[in-house]
Amino acid sequence: MNYRDINRSIGDIAAALPKAPRIFKEYGIDFCCGGHRPLAAVIKEQGLSLEEIYARLDQAVSEPENNTEATDLPFDQMSSPVLSAYIEDTHHSYLRKALPEASELLNTVLRVHGSKHRELFEMYQLFGRLKTDLEQHLLKEENLLFPLLGNSSEVCSCSRDTDSSSETKSLTDEIICEHEAAGEILRKLRSISNNYTLPDGACATYQKTYSLLEALEQDLHQHIHLENNILLKDYATH
């Protein structure tokens, strides 16, 4: 693909080149919620080197494909039902374990260290909102969105103006809005925690909490990327 095209979106590049998200992450380029934006414009806006990032992408293209990592799978070649099943089995399953664990850890750290680290109160409040939102979000995807996408994939392109297609587009917009809300909470959590920098003398529970929050953020970025930039790309209105 021609990722040097100034109009090429970050999401298009991330979808076509599975190794690109890791590169974008290194440079702080939002490839999930901000995936609809042109890469060249974002690079300029963030004061990054266009040629440096292009060189990294060139290198990723020339590297042999080994597919040893889950994020290197050819997601853009999967059918909607197959990709939906992968997302549910991989990312939804992970969240259903990680969300309550992180909530419990944050509660413990807050009770022990909250008097000296007031930022923990805001983090706990934000994470509680994220957990609640994501729990209903997963149910909405599994019970409404994914079945609709499965039905849509069986309909020929000439029939995409049906009521089913309209419902899919409307629900897609809802899902993407919820992704953006989750992304904003993740950014706030990272900012409040100073990029998850541990305070001096942090106990093992504190360390485990921040480590899990970072892992959860990374998983959500990949989860949202797969949906916004690949699974839902044909149905999104923006």
* CB burial of residue 15 (10 Å; 0-12, 13-18, 19+): buried
Mean pLDDT for all residues in the chain:
89
Rounded Cα gap, residues 1 and 29, in angstroms: 19
Share of the chain above pLDDT 70, in %: 90
**pLDDT tens across 130-188, in order?**
999 999 999 999 999 999 998 765 544 444 455 678 889 999 999 999 999 999 999 99
Question: How is residue 130 written in tokens?
Answer: 């994220």
Per-residue model confidence (pLDDT) at position 162 = 57
CA distances from 149 to 50, 86, 139, 153 (A): 36, 14, 15, 6
How many Å from the N-terminal Cα to the C-terminal Cα in the chain? 22
Count CB neighbours of 106 within 10 A.
Answer: 23
**pLDDT tens across 7-30, in order?**
889 989 988 888 899 999 999 999
Which sign, positive or negative, has the C-alpha torsion 51, 225, 167, 184?
A: negative
Helices (H) and strands (E) in the chain, counts: 10, 0
Residues paired with residue 9 on neighbouring β-strands, in sequence order: 38
Confidence of residue 238 (pLDDT cuts 50, 70, 90): low
3-class state of residue 100 by DSSP: helix
3-class state of residue 117 by DSSP: coil
Q: Are 119 and 77 in contact (CB under 8 A)?
A: no
Residues paired with residue 38 on neighbouring β-strands, in sequence order: 9
Give the predicted TM-score (pTM) of the model.
0.85
Per-residue model confidence (pLDDT) at position 72 = 67
Contacts of 115 (CB under 8 A, 6+ apart): none
Q: Which residue has the tokens 């998850």?
A: 196
Buried b or exposed e, range 26-56, using 16+ CB within 10 angstroms: eeebbbbbbbebbbbebbeeeeeeeeebeeb
pLDDT, mean of residues 183-200: 96
